[in-house]
Chain A
Amino acid sequence: MAAAAAPTVFLLMVNGQIESAQFPAFDDLYCKYCFVYGHDWAPTTGLEEGISQITSKNRDAQQALVWNFPIDITFKSTNPSGWPQIVVSVYGPDLFGNDVVRGYGAVHVPFTPGSHRRTIPMFVPESTSKLQKITSWLMGRHPEFTDPKVVAQGEGREVITVRSQGFVTISFNVVTKDMKKLGYDVSPSDMQNPSVVSLTDGIHNH
């Protein structure tokens, strides 16, 4: 199809799954995800947030917690600044049955087309005084972020202390449209790595 004018908007389609987690000290966990993006971005189709099922560890030695939770979203944007990040929060029961947060983590959605897998560390905020740690353990009210999207920002992080206590593995499949037409290069020109060749490369001439 002939385009009358040069495109000003590019599309980013991401699908994939939150595969699994490793939390040696905790069991019976579920996760929530949401996407955080800049002002120039807007989701066009797909779900921006989701809550997974509750999963437990198997009896085997691997001790993995598997969610296999699908992600499917498409964004449009005029500017790569504010590239979307996926923020994952993991929750589980504590000793007294209260639902407490076991980890927050965030990672940018990859921008080279193709398949990618990321393992991200998960951390929780920690109180700095020992007394507060004991009372929060007793009352079941552990420190948590009022809005998990804070994890995707860089500002204001210098005042918090966190504990990293697990990992979550996410796999992504990324497709972009019109980034090359707008002049963006997302992979090196000599194409050493065939698994990240852009889908539009065979169609357009340089």
Chain B
Amino acid sequence: MAELHLIGQIVGASGFPSSRLFCKWGIHTGGAWKLLSGLREGQTQVDHPQLGDVAYWSHPIDVHFATKGLQGWPKLHVQVWHQDPFGRRELYGYGFCHVPCSPGWHALACVTWQPLGSWQERLSQLFVGGGPQLLNSDLIYTGADRYRLQTSAAGTVHLELGVLLRHFARYGVEC
């Protein structure tokens, strides 16, 4: 079986309305992939940056997968949340990106989006915060049923991922 190691960090996020942010992340794979070690989901700490407006998490990711096939290549999905000084949490963006296919170190910028509600919901969101969230978080990384959704652009999540592949050449896979 071929193996993939994902060793890196969720560095931080920028471009959001406020920088007191944290991130919930997860890795989704197809049926042929098996997790051998590491955590495949987690939540970062809440950062309150003093310099500039980029929130830094430096959240380590160290996952080891074994696979029998190329389908269902791992996808890393993120949800960026804001925590205000009172401890309330609201959603700021959803995003996903595929784990890079070539071995080596990659710096990725994952774009995110936020669901938009009706104009009444947007007006109340302006005053009290909150806002629509996805009921089913699968929609973050699948394309089915997206046509029903209206969203607006949100900021960017910065990742540094190192990909280590093993035995892919033995099966004739070029990457």
Contact = CB atoms under 8 A, between A and B. Distances in A.
Contacts of A25: 50
A81 B5 contact: yes
Chain B interface bracket (under 10, 10 to 19, 20 to 34, 35 or more): 35 or more
B9 A163 contact: no
Contacts, number: 130
Given A157-B43, A185-B168, A128 B87 contact: yes
Contact of A185 (B22, B64, B165): B165
A160 B45 contact: yes
A183 B103 contact: no
A25 B105 CA distance: 32
Nearest to B19: A164
20 contacts: A24-B51, A79-B64, A85-B60, A108-B162, A111-B105, A112-B105, A112-B162, A121-B58, A153-B60, A154-B42, A154-B61, A155-B39, A161-B46, A162-B46, A163-B49, A184-B164, A185-B103, A185-B168, A189-B169, A196-B104
Given A81-B64, A123-B45, A185-B164, 14 more contacts: A80-B5, A80-B164, A107-B58, A108-B60, A110-B105, A112-B105, A123-B58, A153-B60, A154-B42, A155-B39, A161-B45, A161-B83, A162-B47, A206-B169
